[in-house]
Amino acid sequence: MRKKGIDWKTYPCGEYYDELITPSGNARLAARQLANHLASQTPEELETRQETAEATIRQMGISFTVYTEEGNIDRAWPFDIIPRTILAKQWRVTAEGLKQRLRALNMFINDLYHKQDVIKDGVIPEHILTQSKNFRPECVGVSPPFGVWAHVCGTDLVRDDDGKFYVLEDNLRVPSGVSYMLENRAITKRVLPELFENEHILPVDDYAARLFATLAALSPRRIKRPEIVVLTPGIYNSAYFEHSYLAQQMGVELVEGSDLVVGDDDCVYMRTISGMDRVDVIYRRIDDLFLDPEVFDKDSVLGVSGLMRAWQAGNVALANAPGAGVADDKVVYAYVPDIIRYYLNEDPLIANVETYLCHDDEQRAYVLANLDKLVVKPANESGGYGMMIGPHASKAERARFAKLIEGNPRNYIAQQTLKLSTVPTLVGHGAIEPRHLDLRPFVLQAKELYVTTGGLTRVALRKGSLVVNSSQGGGSKDTWIVDR
């Protein structure tokens, strides 16, 4: 007799909002076909499909790098075959909210490097800017095309127990992960091809073309096909897979700093076997401080000497622009709803997570008195590093963070511990349990705005964990925007 598949009536949703299954064991509208299909599969069949996915990942060389004390370790991309599903109707509203947010953030960045009206009008305190580690005085007075500084933004979204999306943070410096979003779809099509035949799953495969068009629009030369390059720190960077993947998908050159030179005319040229080719647009995947040893870190071998001169002269476009990270600050994040109202005269379409600013005396006192209930984050770290999840932290760790906060209040924010939504996830031998997750959609802005259809879903593979970063033991899933 054939062994039965999962019975969703016994699936342990628990106290969290599950994106596929309701507390009564019924599939949500966007997940009905998926849930029925999974229920028809035996645990052995699901395990076989998961093994197929993992073999595909190894065959395709999809990896990421983890930095450890023992050295850099290349790991296969951790992937779970059960996708998360979102109704297209809800996604369209969310996408408009993401566009609204990036429009306002780019206006904010442009203002900071020009008139600074947002400070003069009291929307944000001046010390937020003067104490910002990512404000670049070298960018003051520069006017990039369309007034856009952050051309690629990865905004992290979460769902709380009310099922609504909230913005957790904005990533405006060198956001990564979109290649894994695209590869997740390719893998899922291999292991669950039958679902793509009848389900109305919106595509994601236009991203590379959209990215190319965004970059091309920035070109200082009005030519039919501008010379665009992807600037990588090299093979030892944790996101090198993505750098090479996007260059290949766009049909542009992947270069390192040593491949480029700035001429006496303050234009950027690429060394080729046939001579020097002028470069119009650089999609840079190098942090600001390593871009140009003339201006920033004198010892940097990753960047290009004179690059800032070429950019300031308007002879080359940089995406994202240097200095965009001034808005990629978790303290600035707390002011984004006010920033949206100030520049756009609109209410935010997507809310922030409730946030406490430790530089404020009253809010800091609350944070210090409630460290066991809050998540504490440093203002400018990423990848899950440097944060403390209060309910899971030891007494000693909470005491250490109290000292850090008191020593540098400007550098910390705190947020309520969310009841992050869950989705069914394979946990071994075909068994399925709920795991917490977030979502990173990507937003492009130049002359026009574009939002990916869904985004990179990151999932905490360890039971009860809220940390979804791959560097911290998390994994990923395909994201289906289902049009019903």
Read off the pLDDT of residues 76-95 as tens digits, 9 standing for 90 and up.
Answer: 788 999 999 999 999 999 99
User: Within this chain, do residues 309 and 359 fall inside the same structural domain, yes or no?
Assistant: no
In a domain, 409, yes or no: yes
Report d(CA 123, CA 136) in Å as an integer: 21
| Pairing relationship of beta strands 63-68 and 71-76 according to DSSP bridges | antiparallel
Q: CATH number, domain at 403?
A: 3.30.1490.270
Burial of 56 (C-beta count, 10 Å sphere; 0-12/13-18/19+)? middle
* 448 within domain boundaries: no
Q: What angle do CA 57, 58, 60 make, to 5 degrees?
A: 65
Indicate the residue type of 430.
G
Q: List Cβ neighbours of 71 (8 Å cut-off, separation of 6 or more).
A: none
Structural domain span for residue 307: 221-315
3-state secondary structure of 341: helix
CA 97/CA 276 separation, integer angstroms: 43
At residue 338, the pLDDT reads: 97
The low-confidence residues of the chain, meaning pLDDT below 70, are 1-4, 64-74, 382-384, 470-473
- With vertex at residue 213, the alpha carbon angle to CA 211 and CA 215, rounded to the nearest 5 degrees, is 70
Are 359 and 310 found together in one domain? Answer: no
Number of domains in the chain: 2
pLDDT recorded at residue 1:
41
CA atoms within 13 A on the CB side of 277: 17
HSE at residue 116, side-chain half, CA atoms within 13 A, is: 15
Q: Report the interhelical angle of 207-216 vs 178-191 (nearest 10°).
A: 160
How far is residue 53's CA from residue 187's CA, in Å, rounded to a whole number? 6
Alpha-carbon distance of 334 to 124, in angstroms, equals: 10
Helix (H, G, I), strand (E, B) or coil at 200: coil
The verdict on residue 365 lying in a domain is yes
pTM of the full predicted structure? 0.93
Q: Are residues 297 and 375 in the same domain?
A: no
Please check whether residues 304 and 239 belong to one and the same domain: yes
Last residue of a domain, one of 297, 315, 333: 315
> What pLDDT was estimated at residue 470?
67
Q: What is the pLDDT of residue 361?
A: 94
Q: What is the pLDDT of residue 34?
A: 95
Q: 394, 416, 438 — which closes off a domain?
A: 416
End-of-domain residue from the set 266, 292, 315 = 315
Residue 410 lies in a domain: yes
For residue range 361-417, list pLDDT tens digits in order: 999 999 999 999 999 998 877 656 788 988 889 999 999 999 999 999 989 999 988
| Cβ–Cβ under 8 Å, residues 123 and 342 | yes
**C-alpha distances in Å from residue 133, one per residue of 264, 287, 330:** 32, 13, 12
Residues 233 and 303 in one domain: yes
